[in-house]
Amino acid sequence: MKEIFKKILVALFLILIVWAVVSFFSRKGTEARLFNSSEFMQISVADKSYAYSYQKEGKWYVNFRGKNVGPYGSSIIHLSVSSSSYGFSYFEEGKAYAKIKNKVVGPFSDIMFVSVADKNYGIAYYDQGKRYVIIKDKTYGPYDNILALSVSDSSYGFVYFKDNQWYVHVSGEDFGPYNDPIFYLSVSDSNYGFSYFKDGKTEIKTKDKTFGPYDDVSDILVSDKSIGFSYFTRGDQWHVNINDKISGPFESVSEVAVSDKNYGFIYQKQGQWYAEIDGESFGPYNIVNRLFVFDNNFGFAFQKDGGLYFSLNPSNKQ
């Protein structure tokens, strides 16, 4: 139920209109209000870039760093962006396609994930009753299910289900089998992190260390030099671990993000939601999500006083 609620909140914050996004990106460091739209929209932020989807005269477009891509007859799905690349999925005549910058991949019956880096990309798709993963130009599968996909410039990872067991595949190496689903996976060029269940508890494995056991974990993200995750221990509240520095306790933690230089997470205290970025707290808000943290950019969406906002590089000193 918790995951369903989180997905609903994400959807709410993605229902936005274009002119407000344009206004937002032209006023970096300020809060720009994003009003409701009747159509589904996405936004993605990278270290030195951004992309968003929008509808105009019944057609859909993607704006990548000010350049428009399209039109498309269906809404844009699974939008992902890096500093110099982008990727997204869409439907055309009942079939699913992925566009990775100047390349179109497909058709497929459906696409579950799209992830891009400057020099790499990944697509998880469904076709003829099975699921597959494409990493750049190589296809993996078939699998019975795929739950997560992550790529960096020189690494990649995905979670798959085959022969009634769960596995994590990271750059040619398989971990597992595991009896239970694995919901969180993150990779960077020289690191990786994922959670798994063991003896009724949750543990986290990274390239060089295992964390836990915990009663629950809600998010994991790694960079080459950092790891961040949130965890819950029975009889206590939620905590956040950033490179072995513990923050908390909190009533809830919904997202964690790290880069080599920065970190951020979203937490709840006394019924209100806050975003913490490198020790600076923003809030309180009614709801916060869509957290992006990079070396040069950070941003998050929030709801306050009945308005929906997305804020990029804000400062409490403004």
Q: Go through the domains of the chain in sequence order and give each one's CATH number.
A: 1-37+217-318 (no CATH), 42-182 (2.130.10.150)
**What pLDDT score was predicted for residue 36?**
46
Indicate the pTM of the whole model.
0.86
b/e sequence 42-56, b meaning 16+ C-beta within 10 Å: bbbbbbebbbbbbbe
Distance CA 121, CA 99 (A): 10
**What pLDDT score was predicted for residue 23?**
44
**What pLDDT score was predicted for residue 246?**
96
**What pLDDT score was predicted for residue 7?**
43
The string of DSSP letters for the chain reads -HHHHHHHHHHHHT---HHHHHHHHTSTTSEEE----SS---EEE-SS-EEEEEEETTEEEEEETTEEEEEESS--EEEEE-SS-EEEEEEETTEEEEEETTEEEEEESEEEEEEEETTEEEEEEEETTEEEEEETTEEEEEESEEEEEEE-SS-EEEEEEETTEEEEEETTEEEEEESS----EEE-SS-EEEEEEETTEEEEEESS-EEEEESEEEEEEE-SS-EEEEEE-TTS-EEEEETTEEEEEESEEEEEEE-SS-EEEEEEETTEEEEEETTEEEEEESEEEEEEE-SS-EEEEEEETTEEEEEES--TT-
**What pLDDT score was predicted for residue 152?**
98
**What pLDDT score was predicted for residue 204?**
97
pLDDT along the chain (318 residues), means of 10: 43 40 48 47 86 89 92 94 96 97 96 98 96 96 97 98 97 96 96 96 96 94 97 89 96 96 96 95 91 91 80 70
Q: Which residues contact 201 (CB under 8 A, 6 or more apart)?
A: 212, 213, 214, 215
**What pLDDT score was predicted for residue 101?**
94
